[in-house]
């Protein structure tokens, strides 16, 4: 199957428009803070959410709105998380009502997202003042919608692909925000994906629920699982493919395209971790089963000591072995091999659980690059996994030491 990356983000698929404006949710900021994505027709919709027991009001409202498996719009603000607020549900429902008032899309067909500081008072007034400009400017503006959902993100995150299902050209694209409070089982991520594929809500939910296991749940920046994470997909069917109603070749093609977009977004999120200077990927092979592979890969990229070593370009492979040992997976540590790799080359540092001679100078060159692979082979079976993280820097503490103020 051929999958081609194309421009467009959430506007790459037929029938989707987007926009982002500044409405003043965070008075001290001059950035865009309100985004809207709409489809010209009602869509099949599916989502997954944070595992945190403290959940934002938008998640509660979105789950209710998606109970019938359909939606037609996404409205999302930055600057305030709308979490732990006494009027949170009122605000989230109010955002949906604003979409209905200005677009005619029923409020219960609206997905709601918020991101920002937790527990801060919130008013609907700024959003209400921005709705006219937001809806009037709807168009091929995935970039503006992406800009409006960013908080501590330093770079935009969008991706889109073109592919075929049953000989019909289809498109799928998405935008994401996420920089801090990112840890497996979703993160401080808001991920909005759109597609013109015709697929039932049931099969769409199956695809989304499976995809997240090897995409967003394999990302970690700082070990904190957020309260607001939402990954939602809208499918309006305008491509005209034969409806996907069951598993099979067409469903597999859709899942492959979805994964191509989500993995690209995962790498962007990890590389843009708060204060990060490096994308760190653990490529785990030789595991006895998938669960072991995922557990070990996540343990490696979550290790604060390993992350600090990557920041310092220190080939301290013992920290990798340490993380494997406390991961909880049943691993024969005396069979583990470890290498570090980047565009500068590869250096093998551990064989059968023990150190081997290597050039510290060459290792330093490898680890000074901005994208580093930690290669781990458990030599115990056929399973593999990939997990994405970043280095741990002084800047991370600086950002989060005064994040609220």
Count of the separate structural domains present in the chain: 2
Tens of pLDDT, residues 117-136: 888 899 999 999 999 999 99
Q: How many whole angstroms separate alpha carbon 342 and alpha carbon 303?
A: 19
* Confidence at residue 187, expressed as pLDDT on a 0 to 100 scale: 43
Nearest to residue 149, comparing CAs of 47, 254, 228, 53?
228
Of the candidates 187, 151, 158, the residue with the CA atom closest to the CA atom of residue 48: 187
Angstrom distance (rounded) from CA 90 to CA 79: 17
Residues 215 and 73 in one domain: yes
Beta-bridge partners for 190: 177, 230
Looking at the structure, tell me whether residues 284 and 266 fall in a common domain. Answer: no
- Domain edge (last residue) among 271, 287, 319: 271
Contacts of 297 (CB under 8 A, 6+ apart): 218, 282, 283, 284, 376, 385, 386, 387
pLDDT of residue 51: 76
For residues 13 and 193, give the distance between their C-alpha atoms in angstroms, rounded to a whole number: 10
Task: Examine the domain organization and report whether 248 and 284 are in the same domain.
Answer: no
- Domain end, chosen from 223, 245, 271, is at 271
Cα separation, 41 vs 218, whole angstroms: 33
Residue 178: the pLDDT is 82
Amino acid 396: pLDDT: 80
Residues contacting 66, CB < 8 A, separation 6+: 45, 46, 47, 111, 232
pLDDT of residue 182: 53
In this structure, the answer to whether residues 250 and 310 fall within a common structural domain is no
Smallest Cα–Cα separation from 251: which of 166, 169, 159?
166
Show which residues are catalytic. 188
CATH of the domain at 162: 3.60.70.12
Which domain does 195 fall in, by range? 4-271
Distance CA(88)–CA(119), nearest Å, equals: 10
- The reported pTM is 0.90
- The reply to whether 32 and 55 lie within a common domain is yes
In this prediction, the residues of the chain whose per-residue pLDDT falls under 50 are 186-187
Q: Among 203, 187, 319, 179, which residue's Cα sits nearest to residue 254?
A: 203
pLDDT in tens, 278-303: 999 999 999 999 999 999 999 999 99
**34 and 134 within one domain:** yes
- Same domain as 314, residue 239: no
Verify that 141 and 290 share a domain, yes or no.
no
């Amino acid at each position: 199957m051929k999958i081609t990356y194309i421009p467009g983000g959430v506007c790459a698929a037929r029938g989707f428009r987007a926009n982002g404006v500044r409405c003043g949710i965070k008075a001290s900021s001059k950035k865009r803070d309100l985004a809207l994505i709409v489809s010209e027709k009602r869509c099949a919709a599916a989502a997954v959410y944070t595992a945190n027991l403290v959940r934002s009001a938008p998640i509660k409202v979105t789950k209710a709105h998606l109970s019938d498996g359909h939606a037609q719009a996404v409205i999302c603000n930055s600057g305030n998380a709308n979490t732990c607020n006494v009027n949170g549900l009122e605000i989230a429902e109010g955002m949906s009502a604003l979409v209905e008032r200005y677009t005619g899309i029923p409020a219960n067909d609206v997905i709601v997202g918020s991101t920002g500081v937790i527990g801060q008072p919130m008013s609907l007034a700024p959003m209400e003042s921005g709705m006219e400009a937001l809806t009037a400017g709807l168009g091929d503006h995935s970039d503006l919608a992406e800009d409006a959902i960013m908080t501590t993100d330093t770079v935009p995150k969008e991706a889109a692909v073109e592919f075929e299902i049953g000989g019909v050209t289809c498109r799928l694209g998405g935008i994401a925000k996420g920089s801090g409070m990112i840890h497996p089982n979703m993160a401080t991520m808001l991920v909005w994906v759109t597609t013109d594929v015709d697929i039932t809500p049931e099969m769409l939910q199956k695809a989304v629920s499976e995809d997240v296991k090897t995409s967003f749940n394999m990302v970690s920046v700082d070990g904190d699982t957020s309260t607001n994470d939402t990954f939602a997909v809208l499918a309006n069917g305008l491509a005209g493919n034969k409806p996907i109603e069951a598993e099979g070749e067409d469903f597999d093609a859709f899942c492959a395209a979805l994964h191509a977009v989500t993995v690209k977004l995962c790498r962007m999120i990890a590389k843009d971790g708060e204060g990060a200077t490096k994308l760190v990927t653990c490529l785990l092979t030789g595991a006895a089963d998938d669960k072991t592979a995922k557990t070990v890969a996540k343990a490696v990229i979550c290790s604060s000591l390993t992350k600090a070593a990557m920041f310092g370009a220190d080939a301290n492979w013992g920290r990798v072995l340490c993380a494997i040992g406390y991961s909880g997976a049943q691993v024969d540590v005396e069979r583990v091999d470890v290498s570090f790799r980047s565009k500068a080359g590869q250096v093998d540092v551990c064989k059968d659980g023990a150190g081997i001679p290597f050039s510290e100078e060459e290792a330093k060159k490898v680890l000074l690059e901005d994208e580093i692979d930690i290669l781990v082979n458990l030599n115990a079976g056929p399973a593999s996994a990939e997990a994405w993280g970043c280095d741990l820097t002084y800047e991370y503490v600086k950002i989060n030491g005064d994040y609220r103020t």
